[in-house]
Amino acid sequence: MRRALAILSSLLLILSVPACDGKEDPVLPSKAEDARSEDQEDNSLEQTETTMTIRITAGGKTFTADIEDNQTGKAFMAKLPLTLEMSELNGNEKYCYGVELPRADQYYDIIAAGDLMLYSGSCIVLFYGSAGGYSYTRIGKLSSTDGLSSALGSSKVTVLFEKQQ
């Protein structure tokens, strides 16, 4: 057993020594450079997280929503601020056609109040009641739906979507 371990250790030592091929050794980053790189990555993650939260204002009330970190969510964020005249449908949703976004539709059995969805690639839908049985691309979800139904009302409503400051 000791002999097998000695052979294995020798083999690992031989394999860990770089071969001489006449080329210069690659320059490895210093520990300080590694730390700066990690900090930059952390900062970019924080920026992404903060820029993927939006404010939605309707009927004098403001709500926050977390936007999906996908192609649709990023394209939606790039269009903000948006002021949309949203129409009523089915007593559970407001919708507005004319906002083209990349889509990756999937079928939803259940959609909850607060879901912000894309229908058919060009229709923004904000649900204030439950629904289901249709294909959508998820854009995001409201953090809280308290007062959403009354803020959206039962007819057309102007809704402002803007980046969280």
- Please indicate, yes or no, if residue 1 is contained in any of the structural domains: no
DSSP conformation letters of 20-65:
--SSPPPPPPPHHHHHHHHHHHHHHHHHHHHHTEEEEEETTEEEEE
Tell me the mean pLDDT per 10 residues along the chain, length 165. Answer: 47 38 37 43 42 92 97 97 98 97 96 97 97 94 97 97 91
pTM of the model: 0.69
Predicted local distance difference test score (pLDDT) of residue 51: 55
The domain total for the chain is 1
Which element (helix H / strand E) includes 150? helix 148-152
Predicted local distance difference test score (pLDDT) of residue 133: 84
Predicted local distance difference test score (pLDDT) of residue 32: 40
- Please indicate, yes or no, if residue 9 is contained in any of the structural domains: no
Where in the sequence is the domain holding 132, given as residue range(s)? 54-163
Q: Check if the beta carbon of residue 161 is closer than 8 Å to that of residue 139.
A: no
Q: Check if the beta carbon of residue 113 is closer than 8 Å to that of residue 129.
A: yes
- Please indicate, yes or no, if residue 142 is contained in any of the structural domains: yes
- Assign residue 157 the CATH number of its domain: 2.40.100.20
- Please indicate, yes or no, if residue 26 is contained in any of the structural domains: no
- Please indicate, yes or no, if residue 24 is contained in any of the structural domains: no
Predicted local distance difference test score (pLDDT) of residue 116: 98
CA distance 117 to 133: 13
- Please indicate, yes or no, if residue 61 is contained in any of the structural domains: yes
